[in-house]
C-alpha cells in the first residue's frame, strides 16, 4: 500500500500512491497507464472476456478478469472491481471516463474499502449528478443559469404551463441526463404533450429518473467548456476553454482551443465563473464546467462533468500539463503545483471524434 510522504507546502501529510487499478478499458486505460509509468507507479488492468486480448491488458503490470462481456457483468460491477483492488494490493483506483467515473456510490465504496478514488468526493459527484441540484447550487454562487423551471411538481400539465410561461422555444431535459438523452426541443404548445412524455420516458429508461427540467431554448448557441483543477486544500484553478459546438445529436464531434468566439475579457469571465462553480461544491481533482454561449455573448451554466473528459488532451497540448499526473498528485494529498497566474497557454489544439 502507499507510504507516507513528507509534509506538503501547507503542512499536510501526503500519501504516495504505489499501485493504481485502472477501472476502465481501451484508449483511456492506456492513457492513464502511460502517466503511471512515467511516475513509477505500478498498474493493474481489469477486463471483460471481450477485452482479454486488448493492448491495455498487456500493457499493465497485472491484469484481473472481471467477468463476461456485458458491462453490467464486468466494468460496472463495483464489488468485483474492489475485490480486484484488494487482491492486487492496489492503493488507488482511477475510473477514467464513462462506466463508474461519475458514480458517487462507487467513490464512496472505494473510501470505505480504504482505496483512494482518483476523482472528486462522493458528495461533489452526487450534487452535480442532478441537473436540478447543480443549477440551484451554482446560481447561489452567482453563476448565470438559463431561465427555466426545475420544480418538484412534475405533473405534465404543470410542466406545460411552465413552458408556456417561459416562452417558446423551450428545451425539455432529463434532470439526471447526459449525452443528449432525454432532451427535446419544443417550438409550440401543441408539441408539449408528446415531447414531455418522450423526454420523461427516455430519462427513466436511461438514467432511472423521469424528472424533467424546462429551460428557455437558446437559438444558435456555442458550447464552451472550462477545465478546472482543484486540490483538497481549497485551491482551485481553471485552464481556459475548449469549444465543442460542432455536435451530432447533442454529442461532441470536434473539440478545440482556443475558441474563436472568446476575447480575453469574456474568457476571463467564463473562467472565473467556472471557478465559482467548483468552489461552491468544494471541488477537488479534475473536472469540466460546461456553458452555453449565446450570440449576444451572454453565457449560462449547463453542467459539471465530475471526471476527466474525453477531450482533456486538447487542454494538455496548450498548457503543457499532464492532467492525469495532476489528478494523481491531488488524490494523494498534494497541493496544486500551479497557481492561476502561472498557467501558460501556447498554440492551438483540436480533437476530432470518430463515431462508427
Q: What is the pLDDT of residue 13?
A: 53
- pLDDT-based confidence at residue 226 (cuts at 50, 70, 90): very high
Neighbours of 74 (CB within 10 A): 22
Mean pLDDT lowest for which of 61-70, 177-186, 234-243? 177-186
Determine whether domain 147-216 maps to CATH 3.30.1490.20.
yes
Q: What is the pLDDT of residue 5?
A: 42
Taking only the tens place, the pLDDT of each residue in 61-119 is: 999 999 999 999 999 999 999 999 999 999 999 999 999 999 999 999 999 999 999 99
pLDDT surpasses 90 at 3: no
Q: Flag whether the pTM goes above 0.85.
A: yes
Determine whether domain 3-118 maps to CATH 3.40.50.20.
yes
CATH of 219-352, one of 3.40.640.10, 3.30.470.20, 3.40.1010.10, 3.40.50.620: 3.30.470.20
Q: What is the pLDDT of residue 15?
A: 84
pLDDT surpasses 60 at 4: no
Q: What is the pLDDT of residue 166?
A: 95
Average pLDDT over residues 232-244: 98
- pLDDT-based confidence at residue 274 (cuts at 50, 70, 90): very high
Give the chain's mean pLDDT.
94
Mean pLDDT lowest for which of 36-40, 142-146, 179-183? 179-183
Q: What is the pLDDT of residue 180?
A: 77
| Residues designated as active site | 307
pLDDT surpasses 60 at 30: yes
Indicate the domain borders of the chain.
Answer: 3-118, 147-216, 219-352
Amino acid at each position: 500500500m502507499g507510504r507516507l510522504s513528507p509534509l506538503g507546502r501547507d503542512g499536510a501529510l501526503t500519501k504516495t500512491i504505489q499501485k493504481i487499478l485502472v477501472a476502465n478499458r481501451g484508449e483511456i486505460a492506456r492513457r492513464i497507464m502511460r502517466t503511471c509509468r512515467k511516475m513509477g507507479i505500478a498498474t493493474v488492468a481489469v477486463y471483460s472476456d471481450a477485452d482479454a486480448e486488448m493492448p491495455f491488458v498487456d500493457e499493465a503490470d497485472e491484469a484481473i478478469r472481471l467477468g463476461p462481456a456485458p458491462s453490467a457483468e464486468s466494468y460496472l460491477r463495483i464489488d468485483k472491481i474492489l475485490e480486484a483492488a484488494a487482491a492486487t494490493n492496489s492503493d488507488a483506483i482511477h475510473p477514467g471516463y464513462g462506466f463508474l467515473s461519475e458514480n458517487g456510490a462507487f467513490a464512496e465504496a472505494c473510501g470505505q474499502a480504504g482505496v483512494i478514488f482518483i476523482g472528486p468526493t462522493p458528495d461533489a459527484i452526487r450534487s452535480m449528478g442532478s441537473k436540478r441540484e447543480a443549477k440551484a447550487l451554482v446560481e447561489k454562487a452567482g453563476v448565470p443559469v438559463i431561465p427555466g423551471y426545475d420544480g418538484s411538481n412534475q405533473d405534465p400539465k404543470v410542466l406545460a404551463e411552465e413552458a408556456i410561461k417561459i416562452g417558446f422555444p423551450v428545451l425539455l431535459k432529463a434532470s439526471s441526463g447526459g449525452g443528449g438523452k432525454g432532451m427535446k426541443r419544443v417550438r409550440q404548445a401543441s408539441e408539449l404533450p408528446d415531447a414531455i412524455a418522450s423526454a420523461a420516458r427516455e430519462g427513466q429508461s436511461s438514467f432511472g429518473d423521469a424528472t424533467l427540467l424546462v429551460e428557455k431554448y437558446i437559438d444558435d448557441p456555442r458550447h464552451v467548456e472550462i477545465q478546472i483543477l482543484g486540490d483538497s486544500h481549497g485551491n482551485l484553478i481553471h485552464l481556459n476553454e475548449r469549444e465543442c459546438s460542432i455536435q451530432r445529436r447533442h454529442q461532441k464531434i470536434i473539440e478545440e482551443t482556443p475558441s474563436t468566439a472568446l476575447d480575453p475579457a469574456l474568457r476571463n469571465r467564463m473562467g472565473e465563473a467556472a471557478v465559482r462553480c467548483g468552489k461552491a461544491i468544494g471541488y477537488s481533482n479534475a473536472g469540466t464546467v460546461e456553458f452555453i454561449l449565446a450570440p449576444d455573448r451572454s453565457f449560462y451554466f449547463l453542467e459539471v462533468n465530475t471526471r476527466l473528459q474525453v477531450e482533456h488532451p486538447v487542454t494538455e497540448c496548450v498548457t503543457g500539463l499532464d492532467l492525469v499526473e495532476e489528478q494523481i498528485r491531488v488524490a494523494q494529498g498534494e497541493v496544486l503545483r500551479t497557481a492561476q497566474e502561472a498557467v501558460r497557454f501556447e498554440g492551438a489544439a483540436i480533437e476530432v471524434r470518430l463515431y462508427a
